[in-house]
């Protein structure tokens, strides 16, 4: 029998469940998150138009750079202000 030492952080990943998906967007606030890749704003701009036509409240957000993790404050801001978030990657 061999014993080895665990090379990992020994923690199980925090268990997270995806929030329930709303049936429709009526009366909800949708956050549009631009990660600051080229042309992500084009895609989100079109989405904003389409959502606005349906009477949905839209808020725009952008990460300072796509190369780094999102600032914790921005994540908290989106969570506090929106019911749904759509994140755009683009190039």
Binding site for other proteins (CB under 8 A): 1-11, 13, 65, 67-69
Q: Is 78 helix (H, G, I), strand (E, B) or coil?
A: helix
Nearer to other proteins, 5 or 26 (CB): 5
Q: CA-CA distances (angstroms) from residue 1 to 4, 17?
A: 10, 38
Q: How far is the CB of 7 from other proteins (least distance, A)?
A: 4
Min dist CB 35 to other proteins, Å, is: 11
57 and 64 Cβ atoms separated by less than 8 Å: no
14 or 80: CB nearest other proteins: 14
Closer of 55 and 69 to other proteins (Cβ):
69
Q: How far is the CB of 47 from other proteins (least distance, A)?
A: 23
Q: Are 36 and 63 in contact (CB under 8 A)?
A: yes
At residue 54, φ and ψ (nearest 5 deg) are: -95, 10
């Amino acid at each position: 029998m061999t014993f080895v030492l665990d090379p990992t952080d020994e923690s199980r990943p925090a268990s997270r469940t995806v929030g329930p998906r709303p049936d429709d967007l009526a009366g909800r606030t949708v956050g549009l998150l631009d990660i600051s890749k080229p042309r992500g704003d084009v895609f989100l701009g079109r989405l904003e138009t389409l959502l606005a036509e349906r009477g949905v409240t839209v808020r725009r957000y952008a990460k300072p750079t796509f190369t780094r993790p999102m600032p914790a404050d921005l994540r908290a801001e989106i969570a506090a202000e929106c019911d749904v978030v759509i994140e755009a990657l683009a190039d």
